[in-house]
Structure 1
Amino acid sequence: MGVVMAGYSIFLRPDLLQVFWAGMQAGDFITDAVLPIGTSRRTGRRVLLEAGGVRPRRGRNLKGRCLSFAQREEIAVLRAQGYSLRQIGAVIGASASTVSRELRRNTRPGAGYRATSAHAMAYERASRPKPAKLHTNPALRARVEGDLKKKYSPEQIAGRPRVQFPDQPEMRVSPETIYQSLYVQSRGALKRDLTACLRTGRALRQPCRKAGQRKNRIPGMINISERPAEVEDRAVPGHWEGDLIIGKGNLSAIGTLVERTTNYTMLVHLPGGYKAEQMRDALAAKIQTLPQVLRHSLTWDQGIEMQDWKTVTVDTGIDIYFCDPHSPWQRGINENTNGLLRQYFPKGTDLSIHSPTDLDWVADELNDRPRKRLGFQKPIELIGNLLLQ
């Protein structure tokens, strides 16, 4: 069953949206969260933006009170086949009175009963939003807006009126109400541009996970803090930094490897995608082309593509370390190289169209480019000298 039909939107399906939100709160990427509901990443992104990153209450814990879209489809089919109200109720697990009420309320005049239009009508009828407190209380709203502009946190804003106005409950507001009013524009109270006053400055709310709750955490990873001290001064060759550059729609990627001492670059061909097993095999094969003297260590970020890092270590003999979250400077040479590579592989393009020969040609060009950090020597010259030693 498709989720988007003519004149019918996934936004009318709280049951499906709650599956998506459950995935997002569990730590899924958008691409993974939309899979169970059969829609696109673009639609999932739109759902997030329109909700301000806040999971709606609607559609949660319905406990069978409301007819589902699937039940309405059954009603439409069985009604067209001439089934009685009792027979239809027996099939969908509802009483005959429920079926009767559904047909009476949600049938468009002159059009007959249709599941899509019935679901849309029921959705609109069930929409009875309670006016937001910050919308109905201008004095409180003005106070909250003023405190936000002073860079107060929602918790500080909510706590202060209890001290200043102990006998005026109408001047109290919870931190969650402030967040909801900022991020959920249907609440119609605070302007979203006030989110810039928050410490995070995010225009989209993101879940705060507890320690150890981060989904897809790489098992048994070795942190960069345990990396040998000799790696830091770049005096000993054979220590590498690695990452991915991502193509259009997050559907394709190229692996990048940069040697810390010489800036020598190698590119990893990933024609079928960059899932853990694909990354494992392609990365191990590329590292195995190096002599053992240049296989000391590899530093990577905490990308899920490196889940099988232990297998790469066993197959190649290279030690693998992982950066701290959101710390690209810990792979500074690799980050700089990825920027140079965007001259050849622009953002928003399909990277799967490039062959291994294409990647080798680009790597050769970079390795033949003189670098200021190397005293304007070329990476290919320095790596060549090492291989001759």
Structure 2
Amino acid sequence: MKKLFLIDIRRLLQNKTAIIISLAVPVVIVALIAVLVAPYFFSGVRTNNFSVAVWCEDDDPLTRSILKGLIESESLGGLISAKFVNGESEGFAAVENGAAAYVHIPDGMQDALRSGGRAQISYYGNRNMPLEDALLFETLNSGVKLVSHAQHALNVLYFDSVGAGMDESAAAAKFTDITRIFFLSVLSRSSLYGDSGLTSPLGDALPLQYYAVSFLILFIGLGAIPIAGMTADDHSTGLIHRQLLSGSAPVKCLASRWLAGSLFLFMQYLILSSALCAIGSASGFAGNALLILVSGLLLCSLVSILMILAGVVSRQSHFAVRFAFLGVLALSLAGGLIVPSAYMPGIIRDISYYTPFSFALKLGISGMFGGQAQGLALFAGLCLAYIAAAFALCVPAFQRRTN
């Protein structure tokens, strides 16, 4: 297998077409995305301020303080303006007159939360402003979950204190102090909603880390297309058949091609990731070199076997190239590389969470900018499962096409 591996890697490195495709196709795709996405991000849809109508019946100072902190925060303050209304009819009228949404905070919300009860915040979005509606809903939904979990933790602390023998008045005073400290000193801090300073030149909606790792994965995926074309060519010309006749088993032929393709892609990955890390160092790079290497090996190994699978199921090289290209785009869309998963419908977003490129995106951002290995074991297990499934599909196809 060593001899076959050397032959395959030499063919990939000496193939000028493969090198040109590996470099040109990702550049063209990134340029197309930039040309198509940049006008969209620079359009008035995202740069113009928009308003939200709020009917707050809860007079608790804590609720008022949280609302004030959100409205006056560094990020949201320059984008969203709040219009306080005095009734449901005024709220719907504000939506009809151009407000992105109408939010109703019920009376006694804080009292209900303190007593362990439930309070329902009503939200009505403007169908004519889907992007603003989505931004507001995701922000509000995340904030409500955070407040709910925090309030539950404080309630548990109170009842545990009383159960441990603390006087109820003392426990209530401690509960009130901790609640005020948490909500006023933590949740209402402008730095919690502040700008990170790491924004893409395409717009201020997504951070630089997202674009950097997304384009890196796109480069690797699209740069692997020549592997699919070369595999299809070998089938049509009988090269693999001659390798089998020389005494090499189908598994060895497949493994040598897979390892050669993985090494070919990993060399690209090292160059691109090093360049991105050098650029990111000016923006507070805090990566983990070992995590970057491990995630890169997993990604390149997975993409290599997927390209071989595209080649063995294709009859001609041009069909294999098209199939591989569309497959990479499909995985990129499903993984949130082109369209962020936050903008996907809930069901599609849940499915995309288990796609390989989605894990590669999260792990790449952590490896290059966060230095944390959260999700590494799950990503490794997912990659190994995909690789094993692709191997199981490729070996029979090798035998059928070469016998």
Instruction: Give your verdict on TM over 0.5.
Output: no
* TM-score, scaled to structure 1: 0.25
Larger radius of gyration: 1
Relative contact order: is structure 1 or structure 2 higher (C-alpha 8 Å, sep ≥ 6)? 2
* TM-score, scaled to structure 2: 0.25
| Larger helix proportion of the pair | 2
